[in-house]
Amino acid sequence: TKGGSRMNLKNIWSKLKYSHFIRLVRDGISKTGIMIAPIYLVEERLHEGISPEIKGDPHEYTIEYLTNEDMPVIAALPIRKINVEKLVTQLEQGQKCLGMKCNGELAAFIWIDREKCNLSGCGFKLNDNEAYLFDAYTMEKYRGRGLAPYLRYECYKRLAEEGRTFIFSAVDVFNRPALKVLNKLNARKLELWMRIFFFKKRHIVFHLKRYHFGDDTFSAVRA
């Protein structure tokens, strides 16, 4: 249909606008059943002197933990292949989704796991002072307003109130917008991994590099 064609063209343009060329090539190769995914494991935390700001009126926005009622909105997002039932299950298993709404409309969200880094092939159990952030997303109509770093930093503050001051996440090496946000928040790369998936059934993982720092915030061996 004409409406479907316009939506597909819009999705393609969004990919071209926000994605690295190599990432687009990689996504094309994935249609053969092979997905190549180089990722950074990143450490995030509160830093003094950082105070992300929203472009526009901040009073239009609220930040809250999302519930089952919000999951259909997330499941309906284009390109993302995930159903409501899986999202609800994530909530039931103890994961949280921190959302940012503009006048009641969902504008951005980020998922939190307090039990484990759930990254396939590179996961590890979390300690009581740690958390793992994943699946951060900003609705296209709200991009360019600085919502992603603002929400992420609010997430840091809420987790710090729970005593969780060491925060991990993973980011695709070619995901330029995500890397830009993390750089603004003074996040630092811990490790570089290469994951290769075969027809969504099997995968192999290569550890390529570990970045060294003066403090010992990340153990080389995780459970």
pLDDT in tens, 91-117: 999 999 999 999 999 999 999 999 999
Which pLDDT value is given to residue 88? 98
> What is the average pLDDT value for the chain, to the nearest integer?
85
Evaluate if residue 25 carries a pLDDT over 70: no
Reported pTM:
0.83
pLDDT in tens, 161-196: 999 999 999 999 988 899 999 999 999 999 999 988
Evaluate if residue 48 carries a pLDDT over 50: yes
| Cβ neighbours for 200, distance < 8 A, ≥ 6 positions apart | 33, 35
Per-residue pLDDT band at 220 (split at 50, 70, 90)? very low
Are the C-beta atoms of residues 148 and 108 closer than 8 Å to each other? yes
